[in-house]
Amino acid sequence: MTFHWTATTLLISLLVLLLAAGCCLISWRRSGYTRSMGILEALRFLLVFMAVVSLNQPELLQEYQPDEQPTLVVMYDVSESMQTQDVIDPERPAGTPLRRMDRIEEFIPSATSESDPATENSEVADVNLPELWSGMSDQLEVVFEPFSSTLSDASRGTDFNQALKSTYELHSNLRGIVLISDGDWNTGTTPAEAATELRMRNVPVFAVAVGSEDRLPDVQLVNIDAPTFGIAGKTMRIPFRINNWLPKAQELSVTLSGTLEAPISKTVRVQGMGELRDTINWRPTKTGDYKLRLEIPVADEESNPENNVLEFPIRIQNETLKVLIVESYPRWEYRYLRNALERDPGVDVHCLLFHPDLDGVGGGRGYLEQFPGEEELFDYDVVFLGDVGVEASQLTIEETEQIRQLVRNHAGGLVFLPGFRGKQETLLSTELEELYPVIVDPAAPRGHGLPVPARFSLTESGRRSQLTRLEVDERENERVWSNLPGFQWYASALRSKIGGEVLAVHETESTRFGRVPLIVARTFGTGKVLFMGTDGAWRWRKGVEDLYHYRFWGQVVRWMAYQRNMSQGESMRLFYSPDRPEAGNVLTLNANVSGPTGEPLQTGTVVCQITSPSGQVETLRLQTTDEESWGLFTGMFTPEEGGNYTVLTTCTETGTQLETTIAVAGGEREVIGDPARFDVLHEIATISRGEVTDPSQMNQLVDKLAKLEEPEPVVRRLRVWAHPLWGGLMILLLAVFWSGRKLAGLA
């Protein structure tokens, strides 16, 4: 029995007991020393005694030793990064480097050294026990456990936290852990959690660091930022990135094959220990599904030739984009925009012109007599709103609401093209105010005219954006923007709204928030919105005709219509976000479904059957987001692996189905050739009171493990003062005492 007392609490306890004893004796003497009162006062003193004892927290301690033999677990990493060939053999320093896995195979059982790398936490004990560990069998039970991750393809990740947690949960009498790995932690929660738990259990982790922390000499084709589909007859720009980890510059021929035609090559130069971002152009001529292959030659000094090739799928389809231009006056910006889009063979242009000098609307080829109805409007991919507003002879409140629904629920695009008449100011009191990308200065609704032409200035986002890419080379693109013919009017935008991406600003003019935003892009719901704050883009034709004017607006239309054209059937359209999904990140699926008569389906059962590249099938039911979701059904799932996912979308009410393929970037966690991460191993060992060593010192580590001190016996504490029986006994004695006083005739 132990007590948690101090000198003060002990002194107070004794004084309370003495005072209680004195009071009990006085009370017993007053009763004439009767037997019944003596028993009651003795019971009173016992209750006080038990209360004083409880305040000093008495505990019963019991020690015991485990019956089973203590266990030493040897965990070894079997993830793909262990195939990196960067281990120098100390006996042959000039020889070919070994793979990390080859370096440790003498420390693990031969029965498991060639096992399936996807095996996770499979226990192997005393199977062809290596000679290194055989001398410890009398003291410890040595257990070998390969580990990697809990992904569907386990070898593509390393999860230290889950592996360590599973180990200490599986073994009750764990003496220590030997962790053999390159430290490439890339999935799961931080290993510090499991290391902290091991420290509390007094189980040290001895990490054996395998590999090299220095990057291997290599030239790597890192990634391709290609779209998932393209348009037949339209030139595609396929961005790529190359890392050169060699000390000298490399001149490389980048080759694109798989186009069903002659391979396309481009020569680039990558500085030593540098990075290159560039694009290669391809003009597909036929529709269909392609599997393209981008590769660079292998240099003699490279250590890993396998990362010089990347393959990616792409679908080429015919383009029929529907564009609606709504304008109030045939200004030059409107005329040249209409002409440019009409000459684009992939765009079908309709115009609605509320001409102020005409009794009705403008007429002619491609002109509409009135604003499209709801179902007709949802067939348009992009709507341009010029210098128009909500007036008796222009737009109505109901039509602005339909435009909002087109963008919000049907992945449509909306371009705001304000003019000096300031008609768009009336749109800010409608549903479209929520979509407007900028805050407008109410003091200048008609914008600002300029006596001298001003120019655009690209922001950092604008330099990176494909939307403002008028030339392939970044420096040349910025030079083109700085030399474009100037504009002599701009809208009075104070600043961009939250969520907007400012691509270009006024070269000189500012507000209290910074430079005046001129080109601002943002997303709204499932669609996209663009604000063009000048009406001088038509001047870009000066000296180069349609080159930049045509290219810019063509890119705008296709950027906005990109999602709507991912996959489309007669009464169903499937699109997703982000446009280029990656393994491990959430992917949002959106489906627009129409009813039997063509109207947007309000409610229904829309189900996606998703088949992963490895054949696993997942069923996802898409839900309507709210009452305003006209025909929009949404759901989310997280792809765990890279490759092509087949998505079969069905609607019970209409009986329609749509099958599409989504290419998910591998998001490779385990990269063969990356440096080892010994800092992770040091953290685990430090927290758990272990240490880090390397394979050349395994004998010394085994000797140290054999001399590990016996763990202290397990102590079980029984808290008497907090035990229910102790409390119940006190309550029972109080009841007896109270009843006794009543029987004795006391109040």
Rounded Cα–Cα distance for residues 159 and 134 (Å): 29
Site of tokens 């107070």: 12
Q: Which two tokens stand for residue 28?
A: 């017993």
The pLDDT value recorded for residue 747 is 59
Q: What is the pLDDT of residues 596-636, one digit of tens each?
A: 766 778 788 999 999 988 788 999 999 987 666 667 899 99
> Nearest Cα to 204, choosing from 680, 678, 700, 705?
705
What is the value of pTM for the model shown? Answer: 0.61
Rounded Cα–Cα distance for residues 565 and 516 (Å): 34
Q: Residue 533: CB partners within 8 Å, gap ≥ 6?
A: 418, 438, 490, 491, 493, 516, 517, 518, 519, 520
527 contacts 560 by C-beta, under 8 angstroms: yes
β partners of residue 651: 606
The pLDDT value recorded for residue 302 is 83
> Nearest Cα to 393, choosing from 425, 357, 364?
357
Each as own residue / partner, the long-range contacts of residues 516-523 (CB below 8 Å, 24 or more positions apart, any chain) are 516/490, 517/438, 517/493, 518/456, 518/490, 518/491, 518/493, 519/456, 519/462, 519/468, 520/437, 520/438, 520/493, 520/496, 521/437, 521/465, 521/467, 522/437, 522/497, 523/499
As a dihedral over the C-alpha atoms of residue 696, residue 702, residue 703, residue 705, rounded to 10 degrees, the angle is 140
Q: Are strands 236-244 and 124-125 parallel, antiparallel or unpaired?
A: unpaired
197 contacts 160 by C-beta, under 8 angstroms: no
Taking the chain (747 residues) in runs of 10, the rounded mean pLDDT of each run is: 83 90 88 85 89 86 72 93 84 78 87 42 51 79 91 85 94 90 92 94 94 87 76 83 91 93 93 89 88 91 84 80 93 93 88 82 85 90 95 92 92 94 93 95 92 93 88 85 93 93 94 95 92 94 87 90 74 83 86 78 89 88 76 88 87 88 76 88 95 91 82 72 87 88 75
3-state class (DSSP) for residue 68: coil
Rounded Cα–Cα distance for residues 1 and 10 (Å): 16
Q: Which two tokens stand for residue 284?
A: 């597909």
β partners of residue 511: 514
The pLDDT value recorded for residue 115 is 42
The pLDDT value recorded for residue 268 is 93
